[in-house]
Amino acid sequence: MNTSLRAAGASLPLLALLWGCAADIAPEDTGETPEQTVDETGTTALEDGSFLTVVDAQDSLDWVYYAFTAADEVSPAQPADSTEWDLAVRRYEIALNGGVSGTGGVEVATLAGQDFDALTAAPAEGYVTDLPDADEDGDPEYALGDWFDYDSGTHVLTPKDQVYAVHGVGGAAYKLQVVDYYSSAGTSGYPKLHWAPLDLPQ
């Protein structure tokens, strides 16, 4: 069983209305049965060598830190200066351990139109990391800040069909896709991450 350990994060963003409303709205029932169903938080190794991680990120103040190498949540004493984690999740926000969010050098490339299963090697260029606040909303410009579409009518967040290549702490590469934001009961704040190691670019 994974140990869920958290460290205090920054203050609420101005988008608090978004997650506050989403907390009470279940996603629409499409009638489709997903291929993978994971109700518990933690990481599940899939038969194809990839992993499915469900994070309990309901807390609006505390970040949950995740390390790909450990395939688990971690609890860095000083997150801003730690190389123990790759990603941090708080509600719908995903921070990288790089740029203004950390010193781990983590960066990500968005691969539009890329099929998750077909991607076997990380691209050589196109990477960005978390940048300082540019729109004066009180939050950094997260490199993974555009992972979802938001329906203002239903207040539902839907993951975009996007694959990301991640340069993790220590130089290892991974592919990542956010596939859900809700638990099986429809509760928001449960991001589901599909990820796998990638070969480094030649």
pLDDT attached to residue 37: 46
Identify whether 136 is part of a domain.
yes
Full domain range(s) for residue 150 = 6-25+40-198
Name 177's bridge partners: 194
Reported as a single tens digit per residue, the pLDDT across 156-193 is 999 999 999 999 999 999 999 999 999 989 999 999 99
Assess if residue 34 is contained within a domain: no
**Measured distance CA(33)–CA(30) in Å, rounded:** 9
- Residue 150 pLDDT level (bands cut at 50, 70, 90): very high
**Domain contains 122:** yes
State the CB neighbour count (10 A cutoff) for residue 38: 18
Q: Is residue 32 part of a domain?
A: no
Can you read off the two tokens belonging to residue 157? 């967040």
33-57 confidence digits (pLDDT tens): 344 444 579 999 999 999 999 999 9
CA atoms in the 13 A half-sphere facing the CB of 7: 15
The count of structural domains within the chain is 1
117, part of any domain: yes
The reply to whether 46 falls in a domain is yes
Helices first, then strands: H and E counts in the chain: 1, 13
CA triple 161-19-97, angle to 5 deg: 65
Query: Which of 24, 30, 56, 34 is closest to 156 using CA atoms?
Result: 24
- Tokens representing 115? 């099929």
91 is a domain residue: yes
Any domain includes 164: yes
The DSSP output letter for 32 is P
